[in-house]
Chain A
Amino acid sequence: MSHGNMNLTLKVWKQKNKNERGRFETYQAKGISPDMSFLEMFDVVNESLINEGKEPIAFDHDCREGICGMCSMYINGRPHGPKEGITTCQLHMRSFKDGDTIVVEPWRSAAFPVIKDLVVDIF
């Protein structure tokens, strides 16, 4: 299903669990609407991965309104992405351009081991 007309390339960190090594995986995000949040864009990508019989991207989230503090990830080298004063779930796709490549990584800190993909152990 198409929601909008932005097409993006994602490079996302995939890691099966704490013990295995991870690597970047490339995905195409198609038909993205500027009104979507970053996590809704992930929902769309995951939906098509599931439909293709592939493994979706694991990420933490809950409130999706900037208060629970779960949606931790690095987007293009910055925690919670390029905009100041907001969390990932509050970042909207209108902050990106059609054709952009977006790099997404888990919190990269020795203090926070990766549990799976973008999910880390903070507490």
Chain B
Amino acid sequence: MASSPKLNAKIPEGALENKWTKYRSTVHLVNPANKRSLEVIVVGSGLAGASAAASLAEMGYKVKVLCFQDSPRRAHSIAAQGGINAAKNYQNDGDSIYRLFYDTIKGGDYRAREANVHRLAEVSGNIIDQCVAQGVPFAREYGGTLSNRSFGGTQVQRTFYAAGQTGQQLLLGAYSALQRQVGMGAVQLLARHEMMDIVKIDGKCRGIIARDLVTGKLERHFGHAVLLCTGGYGNVFYLSTNAMGSNVTAIWKAHKKGAFFGNPCYTQIHPTCIPVSGDHQSKLTLMSESLRNDGRIWVPKKQGDTRKPTEIPEDERDYYLERRYPAFGNLVPRDVASRAAKERCDAGYGVGASKMAVYLDFAANTERYGKIQATKLNLHNPSKEEIMRLGKEVVKEKYGNLFDMYKQITGEDPYELPMRIYPAVHYTMGGLWVDYNLMTTVEGLYALGEANFSDHGANRLGASALMQGLADGYFVIPYTIGEYLSEEIRTKAIPTDNEAFVKAEAEVQERISKLMNIKGTKSVDYFHKRLGKIMWDKCGMARNKEGLNWAIAEIRKLKEEFWKDVRVPGEANELNPELEKAHRVADFIELGELMCIDALDRNESCGGHFREEYQTEEGEALRDDEKYAYVAAWEYSGEGNFNLHKEELKYENIKIAARSYK
């Protein structure tokens, strides 16, 4: 297999360990005087967007930042809980850049690009240094050093964290760096603004059309380059752990204007989320993977057991992850853990009212911590109650906010009863295809963070999204953008009365009018929920040919119905949340179709993509490296038509092997 001529990944020559260092020091530079006249638009203010915007502004570029929330600090990254990986080896447990690189490639089921992943591992340590310098209050040991915990798919402790609010603390760090630049006039901030389309002139991306969400006015913004840092598209499933506003619109619009979409079907279903409680459910809440450090997952050995969990004796419990995967146990990667939970529930061993849940139990480790505390405090023969009380204090300190959250939502106390959890849509590995510079197939248009496809292959390891977002923004794009912008120093700012801007704005306007004028009978949510159900049933944790074909036909029907019968109340020239949703859902419907097409094309199982036709006798994913060791990059070629381009994945530094966590 050879890569499509339309896909040049621009991976630098040389040995893997030297590629980035060498490239970084030879990439073209832009001199300070020229930087001042080069404008960069950053769409999105999450970890990727805020870190990129702050860094580029510090370097001297003129930067504009957009986000749809009222403040950049509210981007979805704020909700990340568990932590961020870095190959610091502070625990002296054998970690290294190579090991982080290896774990990530293996975790991604050998479907990620070696050079990008190695670069990610190389800069991971700098991220922690940078964040600490900004004042991010990471958890610490009594000696004053940084503390680490374990995440899935690894056997070292390399995850840095701030209680269960790591994303919040990292984002506030990046946000403060951004605000510093805003204060100095280097960044112009456009909050409550939504990007509606990109503008292309002579094949290059030269700006965007945005909607001021408060007034409804359309605006034209010029940029020598545009960075899409708009996050993931998990909400195509309606229910996910993503924030309500997370959407695909920015990258979908870019896709329709020529940016190829990489691996759209790779979706991460997170094993530990609070189960659905009814059809009113609007979103699902994650219980961080860090809980699997101390929680043991089990179901009763007897089908349909209705006893209270605390009444089921030890030998009647099936700790199925420890049973099936003794080497990694409860810390297997997410795709493996999710499928195992589904397998048990489908087989009739599920718990709770819906029977679609498994237990995540902290009792054993609470007791263990209690005993350690008792010894520390020199308590002789402490009672069981005493031990559990001391243990709970330790657990509370580690996971307090998560336990509170669980109790709020379910009304049950996880200090007393095990949590009930079930897998839920969480993250999208797919996204816009980018080269080594993070540039899409449209010149001058970049994608960073969850919005690109680059580093996680078919399955992302826990605590690696925050790492990737900040790597892209702080340490990659500031260098790689020079390669393009150094050629643009003679391009004067293009006035926005240029016909390309006028035309793009008119198209957006037309679409808004169309949506407003359907005046149908069904709400936007009605369509979104139906789409979500199709996607979850047929393109979720398990997929097959028949189901995917059915889903594609259903989605096409749904699309037709949407454009005939959706009702968008209110007006276009005011704050109108229903109109915002309508735009997003219209794009999700189109994306859903492409996801199913991609899943249908990939006749193998890998990572989060599990095709029922392709599994081992033990129910493990069965890859086909002969035929499918490629990135699927889809080109839009008009309404419902997509052409496949393949980027061959070559493994020169890692021996590609069956992925085993046994």
Size category of the binding interface on chain B: 35 or more
Contact A50 B214, CB 8 Å, known A40-B281, A67-B165: no
Option from B79, B526, B575 in Cβ contact (under 8 Å) with A68: B79
Q: How far is the CA of A58 from the CA of B577 in the complex (A)?
A: 7
Chain B residues lying within 8 Å of A69, measured Cβ to Cβ, are 73-74
Option from A43, A49, A123 in Cβ contact (under 8 Å) with B71: A123
A21 interface residue (CB < 8 Å to B) = no
B321 interface residue (CB < 8 Å to A) = no
A-contacting residues, B238-289, CB 8 Å: 243-245, 277-283, 285
Chain A residues lying within 8 Å of B280, measured Cβ to Cβ, are 3-4, 33, 35-36, 40, 43-44
Chain B residues lying within 8 Å of A51, measured Cβ to Cβ, are 521, 523
A121 interface residue (CB < 8 Å to B) = yes
Contact A65 B71, CB 8 Å, known A50-B523, A50-B567, A123-B191: no
A116 interface residue (CB < 8 Å to B) = yes
A-contacting residues, B523-541, CB 8 Å: 523, 525-526
Q: How far is the CA of A91 from the CA of B71 in the complex (A)?
A: 23
Q: Verify A121–B70 contact, CB threshold 8 A.
A: yes
Q: Verify A43–B282 contact, CB threshold 8 A.
A: yes
Q: Verify B525–A68 contact, CB threshold 8 A.
A: no
Chain B residues lying within 8 Å of A39, measured Cβ to Cβ, are 282
Q: How far is the CA of A115 from the CA of B280 in the complex (A)?
A: 27
B-contacting residues, A32-78, CB 8 Å: 33, 35-37, 39-40, 43-44, 46-47, 49-51, 53-56, 58, 60-70
Contact A67 B71, CB 8 Å, known A33-B280, A43-B282, A54-B569: no
Q: Verify B574–A62 contact, CB threshold 8 A.
A: no
Q: Verify A64–B282 contact, CB threshold 8 A.
A: yes
- Min distance, Cβ A41 to any Cβ of chain B, angstroms: 8
Chain A residues lying within 8 Å of B285, measured Cβ to Cβ, are 64-65
Option from B191, B277, B279, B405 in Cβ contact (under 8 Å) with A1: B279
Q: Verify A63–B278 contact, CB threshold 8 A.
A: no
Q: Verify A116–B574 contact, CB threshold 8 A.
A: yes
Contact A56 B78, CB 8 Å, known A44-B280, A90-B408, A122-B71: no
Interface string of B277-318 (1 = CB under 8 A from A): 111111101000000000000000000000000000000000
Chain B residues lying within 8 Å of A50, measured Cβ to Cβ, are 523, 567, 569, 578
- Min distance, Cβ A4 to any Cβ of chain B, angstroms: 8
Q: How far is the CA of A53 from the CA of B567 in the complex (A)?
A: 9
Option from A33, A62, A116 in Cβ contact (under 8 Å) with B69: A62
Q: How far is the CA of A83 from the CA of B285 in the complex (A)?
A: 20
B543 interface residue (CB < 8 Å to A) = no
- Min distance, Cβ B143 to any Cβ of chain A, angstroms: 30
Chain A residues lying within 8 Å of B574, measured Cβ to Cβ, are 16-17, 116
A92 interface residue (CB < 8 Å to B) = yes
Chain B residues lying within 8 Å of A65, measured Cβ to Cβ, are 79, 283, 285, 405
Q: Verify A67–B278 contact, CB threshold 8 A.
A: no
B657 interface residue (CB < 8 Å to A) = no
Q: How far is the CA of A69 from the CA of B577 in the complex (A)?
A: 18
- Min distance, Cβ A92 to any Cβ of chain B, angstroms: 7
Q: Verify A55–B243 contact, CB threshold 8 A.
A: no
Option from B243, B278, B523, B577 in Cβ contact (under 8 Å) with A47: B523
- Min distance, Cβ B273 to any Cβ of chain A, angstroms: 11
B168 interface residue (CB < 8 Å to A) = yes
Chain A residues lying within 8 Å of B277, measured Cβ to Cβ, are 35
Q: Which residue of chain B has its CB nearest to the CB of A72?
A: B70
Chain B residues lying within 8 Å of A70, measured Cβ to Cβ, are 69-70, 74
Q: Verify B278–A36 contact, CB threshold 8 A.
A: yes
Interface of chain A, main secondary structure: loop
- Min distance, Cβ A40 to any Cβ of chain B, angstroms: 5
Contact A123 B70, CB 8 Å, known A36-B280, A65-B79, A65-B405: yes
Chain B residues lying within 8 Å of A37, measured Cβ to Cβ, are 282, 409
B411 interface residue (CB < 8 Å to A) = yes
Which of A4, A37, A46, A123 has the largest number of chain B CB atoms within 10 A? A123
Q: Verify A90–B282 contact, CB threshold 8 A.
A: no
Q: Verify B214–A115 contact, CB threshold 8 A.
A: yes
B76 interface residue (CB < 8 Å to A) = yes
Q: Verify A60–B79 contact, CB threshold 8 A.
A: no
Q: Which residue of chain A has its CB nearest to the CB of B241?
A: A65
Interface string of A6-37 (1 = CB under 8 A from B): 00000000001100000000000000010111
Q: Verify A67–B569 contact, CB threshold 8 A.
A: no
Chain A residues lying within 8 Å of B405, measured Cβ to Cβ, are 65-66, 90
Chain A residues lying within 8 Å of B578, measured Cβ to Cβ, are 50, 56
B570 interface residue (CB < 8 Å to A) = yes
Interface string of B381-412 (1 = CB under 8 A from A): 00000000000000000000000010011010
Q: How far is the CA of A61 from the CA of B73 in the complex (A)?
A: 14
Q: How far is the CA of A3 from the CA of B282 in the complex (A)?
A: 13
Chain B residues lying within 8 Å of A67, measured Cβ to Cβ, are 78-79, 165, 168
Option from B245, B278, B283, B526 in Cβ contact (under 8 Å) with A35: B278
Chain B residues lying within 8 Å of A46, measured Cβ to Cβ, are 523
Chain A residues lying within 8 Å of B283, measured Cβ to Cβ, are 64-65
Contact A86 B408, CB 8 Å, known A58-B575, A64-B243: yes
8 shortest A-B CB distances, which residue pairs? A123-B71, A62-B243, A68-B74, A50-B523, A116-B575, A3-B280, A35-B277, A63-B243
Q: Which residues on B are within 8 Å of A, measured CB to CB?
A: 69-71, 73-74, 76, 78-79, 165, 168, 191, 214, 243-245, 277-283, 285, 405, 408-409, 411, 521, 523, 525-526, 567, 569-570, 574-575, 577-578
Known: A43-B282, A47-B526. 9 other contacts (CB 8 A): A1-B279, A35-B280, A35-B411, A50-B569, A56-B570, A62-B69, A90-B409, A115-B575, A122-B70
A-B contact pairs, 22 of them (CB 8 A): A1-B279, A3-B278, A3-B280, A36-B278, A47-B523, A47-B526, A50-B569, A51-B521, A51-B523, A60-B70, A62-B69, A62-B243, A62-B245, A64-B243, A65-B283, A67-B165, A68-B243, A86-B408, A115-B214, A116-B574, A119-B575, A123-B71
